[in-house]
Amino acid sequence: MKTKECPGCAMDVDKDADVCPICGYEFPKQSLSLQIAVWVFIALMLFWILF
């Protein structure tokens, strides 16, 4: 099982958890459009650097 550290209580919780079961910290979610925009930006920068 993959885990991540909760910034609220420093306990390891399941990687897919939305809320820490120990302290109730809500992990922020990234929108799909933001993820796509970041990958497009990275691809454009690599294209610009290589060509």
Full residue range of the structural domain in which residue 18 is found? 3-50
Q: pLDDT digits over 23-46, tens only? A: 999 999 888 899 999 999 999 999
> What is the reported pTM?
0.55
- Asked if residue 51 lies in contact with residue 40, where contact means CB atoms within 8 angstroms, the answer is no
CA atoms of 48 and 22, how far apart (whole Å): 46
pLDDT of residue 14: 94
Domain count, the chain: 1
For residue 23, give the nearest of 37, 35, 11 by alpha carbon: 11
**Residue 1 clears pLDDT 80, i.e. is over it:** no
Tell me which amino acid residue 20 is.
Answer: C
Q: Would you tell me how many other CB atoms lie within 10 Å of the CB of residue 37?
A: 11
CA distances for 9 relative to 1, 4, 18, 22, angstroms: 19, 12, 15, 8
